C-alpha cells in the first residue's frame, strides 16, 4: 500500500495537507493556504520535488532534535517533517517522503 495526502480545512477557511506513509504515519506537514487551489498546487509541488535530493534541507532544533524541510525549486518551504530523536530517524523520514511523495492519492477532509 502506498502513502497518501490528507487535505483539511480549518475553522478560518484555510487549507493544509499532510503526507502519510503507508502505515498512516504523518511524514510531512504543509503550511496553511488561503484556497483549495493553492493547497492542491502545494501537493503538486511535493509530488514533483520529493524525489529530488537537493530539495531537502536538514536542520537541528535548539533542543537537540532533528527535522527536515522540503523546498520547491524557488527555495520556498513546501513541507516540514516531525521532530526526530536521531539523525538516522530523520534520514528514514526523508526516505519515506521520497517514496510516498509522488503518490496521487488524496483524501479530502475539506
pLDDT at 2 over 90: no
Task: Give the per-residue pLDDT at 108.
Answer: 87
pLDDT at 30 over 90: yes
Cβ atoms of 28 and 101 within 8 Å: the answer is yes
**pTM confidence score:** 0.93
Query: CA 3 from chain center: how many Å?
Result: 12
Task: Give the per-residue pLDDT at 110.
Answer: 52
Q: 34-92 pLDDT, tens per residue?
A: 999 999 999 999 999 999 999 999 999 999 999 999 999 999 999 999 999 999 999 99
For residues 4-29, give the mean pLDDT: 96
Residue 69 contacts by C-beta under 8 Å, 6 or more apart in sequence?
Answer: 56, 57, 59, 77, 78, 79, 80, 81
How far, in Å, CA of 99 to CA of 101, rounded?
6
Domain annotation for the chain: domains and CATH numbers: 4-108 (2.30.29.80)
Amino acid at each position: 500500500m502506498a502513502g497518501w495526502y490528507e487535505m483539511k480545512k480549518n475553522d478560518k477557511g484555510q487549507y493544509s495537507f499532510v503526507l502519510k506513509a503507508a502505515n498512516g504515519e504523518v511524514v510531512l506537514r504543509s503550511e496553511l493556504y488561503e484556497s483549495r487551489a493553492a493547497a492542491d498546487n502545494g501537493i503538486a509541488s511535493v509530488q514533483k520535488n520529493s524525489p529530488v535530493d537537493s530539495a531537502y534541507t536538514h536542520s537541528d532544533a535548539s533542543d537537540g532534535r532533528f527535522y527536515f524541510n522540503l523546498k520547491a525549486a524557488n527555495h520556498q518551504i513546501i513541507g516540514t517533517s516531525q521532530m526526530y530523536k536521531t539523525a538516522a530517524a530523520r534520514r528514514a523520514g526523508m526516505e519515506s517522503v521520497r517514496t510516498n511523495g509522488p503518490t496521487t492519492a488524496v483524501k479530502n477532509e475539506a
